[in-house]
Amino acid sequence: MKKERSLAGRWMQYGALALIVQLAVACSDKTAAPAPVGDDRPVANAAVAATPAADERLIVAFGDSLYAGYNLDQDKGLAPVLEAALKARGVKARVVNAGVSGDTTAAGLARLAFTLDGLPRKPDLMLVGLGGNDMLRGLPPAETRTNLDAILAELKKRGIPILLTGMLASPNMGPDYAAAFNPIFADMARKYDATLYPFMLDGVIGDPVLQLPDGIHPNDKGVGVIVSKLAPVVAGALPS
């Protein structure tokens, strides 16, 4: 019961923060496209398509600010920390950062082919983490589902194994929105035989020690917590 109350409190904090973000967007210049949380496109990390060594797996982290390492030092983001964690587990891998802060599923779909075609070879695994900005913008879940479907269909067509990291709707979005949004990731994972990591911010959301001052993005300690949970899932998802 104590654990349930603690989790509920964290979700309420998350919901309040998401509401603040949406209000800030709503009050912005109406002539400009609203900027999602963590939108730092001018300095966003592009996919560094360094050629992996012959004995290294090629893993691409394709997502939004949670993948891009928003407001973190270059070596503190998801990709480099995950790469180090995999090597510590005996998995030789090059993890390419293809995260762009602020990306919605539509923006990810628009750059997918360009990203894949710029790689030195077909990835051994593609991590896909998009949808959070769709939710914060209040975009229709049907659009999120359609875009993710198209992204995963293209990866399946190219024969690239997929690990999908999910997101959950903030409580302030309401039960109807959550009922339409939350199942998307599990549904897509089943449809495309993808490995599912259900909630990207598991263990981090609501803990100020693990988050940046915005209360949403992980700091370097938060990335460490995420990777400690995610790395074994990634290792298990790599083809034999």
DSSP 96-150: EEEE-TT--HHHHHHHHHHHHHTSSS--SEEEEE--HHHHHHT--HHHHHHHHHH
Does 65 qualify as catalytic in the annotation?
Answer: yes
Does 187 qualify as catalytic in the annotation?
Answer: no
Q: What percent of the chain has pLDDT over 70?
A: 79
Active-site residue identified among 28, 75, 214, 228: 214
Per-residue pLDDT band for 50 (boundaries 50, 70, 90) equals low
Does 149 qualify as catalytic in the annotation?
Answer: no
pLDDT at 236: 98
How many helices and strands in the chain, by DSSP H and E?
9, 5
The rounded distance, in Å, linking the Cα atoms of 108 and 118 is 15
Tally of residues, the chain:
240
Q: What is the CATH number of domain 2-237?
A: 3.40.50.1110
Predicted confidence (pLDDT) per residue in 56-105, tens digit? 999 999 999 999 999 999 999 999 999 999 999 999 999 999 999 999 99
Per-residue pLDDT band for 19 (boundaries 50, 70, 90) equals very low
pTM for the model: 0.83
Cβ-in-10-Å burial (0-12, 13-18, 19+) of 35 comes to: middle
Per-residue pLDDT band for 49 (boundaries 50, 70, 90) equals low
Compute how many other C-beta atoms are within 10 angstroms of the C-beta atom of residue 8: 12
Domain locations along the chain: 2-237
**Residue with the larger pLDDT of the pair 11 and 84:** 84
pLDDT at 35: 39
Active-site residue identified among 124, 134, 170, 217: 217
pLDDT at 51: 79
Q: Which of 31-35, 144-148, 236-240 has the lowest mean pLDDT?
A: 31-35
Active-site residue identified among 65, 101, 103, 124: 65
